[in-house]
Chains A and B, each alone.
Chain A
Amino acid sequence: MKLFEYRGKELMSRYGIPVPQGRVVSSPDEIDEMKAPGVLKAQVLVGGRGKAGGIKFASSVEEARKVAAQLLGMSIHGERVRRLLIEERLNVAKELYFSYTLDRSSRSIVMMASAEGGMEIESVEPSKIAIRQMPPFGYTPFITRTLQKQLKLNPSLLAQMEDIAKKLYTLFITEDCELAEINPLVITSDGKMVAADAKITVNDDALFRHPEFSEDVDDLTPLELKAKKESIAFVQLDGDIGVIANGAGLTMATLDMLSSRGGKAGVFLDLGGTDDPEKVAKAFALMKEANPRVIFLNIFGGITKCDTVALGVKEAISREHIDIPVVARIRGVNEAEAKEILNSIGIVATTDMREAASRAVEAGR
């Protein structure tokens, strides 16, 4: 789950990391004072906010209200701006990049830092990014000291850098983050380090330990959000075939099979290892809302039995009044029984994945 900048900064501030003074508003009327000069930042989760015009400056209450009205009506890369963060404007001498993230290859937490702050880290030349693997037992200060030369850091700033590095690490661990990024980490003209932006992603699987984040929204579509609440792996795509399969790998393979036949999936729905009729019904209800031209059901029965899945499908189709055509491919335990059940409600089921995929593509035209 990605946190909005203002939520990230609240967290950082709680952990003792210096952030600019600021407040959040959701309407221009809420602005009643403005310490000039100030900055107004649209609160969105998508990247590229600055370039899209989501950051503006103002030096009076009147001007700030006008700018706020503009920003609050905006959409940035499809995401509506609902809140603004209004902050003091910093006197920037230098901008650094600093973050912790999880590294899959080394199976560890890594610290990343660069003297090239303020732009997206993906566009910084790799040789200009310092990466340090963190020891499994926690933060240790020498790691920050090794950054000094690469960051071209004035020795007088090292104590502040170490302090921020240590506190952000504690935040990262305590809040179960996947990413805790400060970009830019500003050095002001009077020699203070301040987190001018905050990008925090919390591990979804750890949310049970952090109920306070439950009110946050994510960068999901409304339907994806609904599916998430029902614990169904559901992804909206830009094609017109709704894919339901059991298991993430098989669902991905089904998408690949369709695209090899010239089709395009519009929904990825992984049923997982369930044949629970309730869950199957929920899956079909979500699929109905997504409104694909055809539903492609691809089931391999190993532990899950094909016939119990088929019974769930039969029930779901009548209960949810599904009138979208369904193409099925069934393989595995009790496959014959499953085909019979599906046939009885007018769904032709085949065994061969290639053949079924071709039929689904055909039906979606």
Chain B
Amino acid sequence: MSVLVNENTKVIVQGITGHQGQFHSRSMKEFGTKVVGGVTPGKGGTAVDGIPVFDTVREAVEQTGADASCVFVPAPFAKDAVFEAIEAGVKLITVITEHIPFLDTMQFVSYAKMKNVRIIGPNCPGITAPGRCKIGIMPSKIFARGRTGVISRSGTLTYEIVNMLTEHGQGQSTCIGIGGDPFIGTNFVEALELFEEDKETERIVMVGEIGGTAEEEAALYIKEHVTKPVVAYIAGRSAPPGKRMGHAGAIISRGMGTAESKVRSLEAAGVSVASLPVEIPELL
């Protein structure tokens, strides 16, 4: 089994008629994902690549039986879109959109928890279970099905690492891009929990970066609850404090969030930490 998604996951794309929405809906479909519908207010009744477009998420869910959504809606309207998906009964919402105000994210993440809905992201590349389902914007060609679970705060760096794993014959069970924002729906601990339970996953690669204490919390969780081997890489060892390194969440502030602290905690939990991404396949 894969994690969170599988060959039966039915996906709708919110913001399907935009440039990104169209491009990636096509790519998801080619990957084999069941993209059953799209939502763009005012464009109901049209179609994108044969995918029917609806005005509201409720209509889309009623008519297609979708259980997952991929959100490409621009930042100022993203909160509304996520609330709409939660209300319509969607159980897995992947938010690709970058630059969503923190308070908006906090609101929809709290509401999702109340309604028992899983959010991935925002500001993330999505989730991919090779051979079964891809929700989001990850490049399809880098994946191979296998037994390594990947969890990452980054986008391109994840592709680079997955590509290396594939070249080294280490296929993936599922790859989750949890997102580069300080507030996210699914954090490392929650993702680790899923991979620990997943029978297909034998080992886990964790790609963290400076900022916050999510990796330290993950280390504590690994020590107590994770039996599978974990290899980690932390980006930003050479980043100075007080500077936001591209991701909204990648900032060392008030002495918190340094790479050293994360590496130390992970190593203390028995995790092999690569000092450069190229070392990951060797450490597995």
CB-contact partner of A249 in B75, B101, B142, B207, under 8 A:
B207
Q: Which residues of B contact A102 (CB under 8 A)?
A: 102, 106, 182-183
How many B residues touch A, CB cutoff 8 Å?
Answer: 59
Q: Which residues of B contact A108 (CB under 8 A)?
A: 106, 110
Instruction: Decide if B243 is an interface residue (CB 8 Å cutoff).
Output: yes
Contact of B235 with A256 in the complex, beta carbons under 8 Å: yes
Contact of B237 with A104 in the complex, beta carbons under 8 Å: no
CB-contact partner of A105 in B141, B207, B217, under 8 A:
B217
Contact of B163 with A332 in the complex, beta carbons under 8 Å: yes
Q: Which residues of A contact B277 (CB under 8 A)?
A: 253, 353
Instruction: Decide if B248 is an interface residue (CB 8 Å cutoff).
Output: yes
User: Interface code A245-289, partner B: CB below 8 Å = 1, 0 otherwise?
Assistant: 111111111011111100011001010010000000000000000
Closest chain A CB from B214 CB (angstroms): 7
Q: Which residues of A contact B183 (CB under 8 A)?
A: 102, 104, 107
Closest to A234 in B: B246
Closest to A247 in B: B156
Given contacts A104-B212, A249-B247, contact A303 B103 (CB under 8 A): no
Instruction: Decide if B278 is an interface residue (CB 8 Å cutoff).
Output: yes
Contact of A248 with B180 in the complex, beta carbons under 8 Å: yes
User: Interface code B224-264, partner A: CB below 8 Å = 1, 0 otherwise?
Assistant: 00000000010111111001111111100011000000000
Contact of B159 with A300 in the complex, beta carbons under 8 Å: yes
A353 CA / B275 CA spacing, docked (Å):
14
Contact of A302 with B209 in the complex, beta carbons under 8 Å: no
Instruction: Decide if B89 is an interface residue (CB 8 Å cutoff).
Output: no
Instruction: Decide if A78 is an interface residue (CB 8 Å cutoff).
Output: no
Q: Which residues of B contact A260 (CB under 8 A)?
A: 275-276
Closest chain A CB from B208 CB (angstroms): 9
Closest chain B CB from A174 CB (angstroms): 10
Instruction: Decide if B64 is an interface residue (CB 8 Å cutoff).
Output: no
User: Interface code A227-247, partner B: CB below 8 Å = 1, 0 otherwise?
Assistant: 000000101011000000111
Instruction: Decide if A205 is an interface residue (CB 8 Å cutoff).
Output: yes
Contact residues of B: prevailing secondary structure: loop
A249 CA / B233 CA spacing, docked (Å):
11
CB-contact partner of B101 in A205, A245, A331, under 8 A:
A205
A116 CA / B106 CA spacing, docked (Å):
30
Contact of B239 with A302 in the complex, beta carbons under 8 Å: no
Instruction: Decide if A336 is an interface residue (CB 8 Å cutoff).
Output: no
Closest chain B CB from A274 CB (angstroms): 12
Contact of B110 with A249 in the complex, beta carbons under 8 Å: no
Contact of A268 with B235 in the complex, beta carbons under 8 Å: no
Closest chain B CB from A202 CB (angstroms): 10
Instruction: Decide if B138 is an interface residue (CB 8 Å cutoff).
Output: yes
Contact of B139 with A303 in the complex, beta carbons under 8 Å: yes
Q: Which of A302-318 contact B (CB under 8 A)?
A: 302-303
A105 CA / B109 CA spacing, docked (Å):
13
Q: Which residues of B contact A109 (CB under 8 A)?
A: 106
Q: Which residues of B contact A300 (CB under 8 A)?
A: 156-157, 159-160, 163
Q: Which of B105-158 contact A (CB under 8 A)?
A: 106-107, 109-111, 137-139, 141-142, 152-158
Q: Which of A57-114 contact B (CB under 8 A)?
A: 102, 104-105, 107-109
Instruction: Decide if B28 is an interface residue (CB 8 Å cutoff).
Output: no
Q: Which residues of B contact A248 (CB under 8 A)?
A: 154-155, 180, 209, 245-247, 250
Q: Which of B63-119 contact A (CB under 8 A)?
A: 75-76, 99-104, 106-107, 109-111
A256 CA / B236 CA spacing, docked (Å):
6
Q: Which residues of A contact B235 (CB under 8 A)?
A: 249, 252-253, 256
Instruction: Decide if A56 is an interface residue (CB 8 Å cutoff).
Output: no
Given contacts A104-B249, A249-B180, contact A333 B278 (CB under 8 A): no
Closest chain B CB from A123 CB (angstroms): 11
Q: Which residues of A contact B278 (CB under 8 A)?
A: 353-354
Instruction: Decide if B222 is an interface residue (CB 8 Å cutoff).
Output: no
Instruction: Decide if B191 is an interface residue (CB 8 Å cutoff).
Output: no
Contact of A252 with B106 in the complex, beta carbons under 8 Å: no
Contact of A255 with B236 in the complex, beta carbons under 8 Å: yes
Q: Which residues of B contact A252 (CB under 8 A)?
A: 157, 209-210, 235-236, 239, 245-246, 250
Given contacts A256-B237, A302-B139, contact A251 B245 (CB under 8 A): yes
Contact of A107 with B139 in the complex, beta carbons under 8 Å: no
Instruction: Decide if B213 is an interface residue (CB 8 Å cutoff).
Output: yes
Closest to B101 in A: A206
Closest chain A CB from B182 CB (angstroms): 5
Contact of A256 with B245 in the complex, beta carbons under 8 Å: no
Closest chain A CB from B142 CB (angstroms): 6
CB-contact partner of B159 in A205, A209, A255, A302, under 8 A:
A302
Contact of A255 with B102 in the complex, beta carbons under 8 Å: no
B138, B141, B156: most-surrounded residue (chain A CB, <10 A): B156
Q: Which residues of B contact A237 (CB under 8 A)?
A: 240, 243
Instruction: Decide if A176 is an interface residue (CB 8 Å cutoff).
Output: yes
Closest chain B CB from A242 CB (angstroms): 15
Closest to A249 in B: B154
A268 CA / B239 CA spacing, docked (Å):
9
Contact of A205 with B100 in the complex, beta carbons under 8 Å: yes
Q: Which residues of B contact A250 (CB under 8 A)?
A: 154, 156-157, 160
Contact of B137 with A253 in the complex, beta carbons under 8 Å: no
A233 CA / B233 CA spacing, docked (Å):
22
Instruction: Decide if A122 is an interface residue (CB 8 Å cutoff).
Output: yes
Question: Closest 4 interchain pairs by CB?
Answer: A249-B154, A247-B156, A248-B246, A249-B157
Can you list 8 residue pairs at the A/B interface with Cβ under 8 Å?
A205-B75, A206-B101, A247-B156, A252-B245, A256-B235, A268-B239, A331-B160, A332-B163
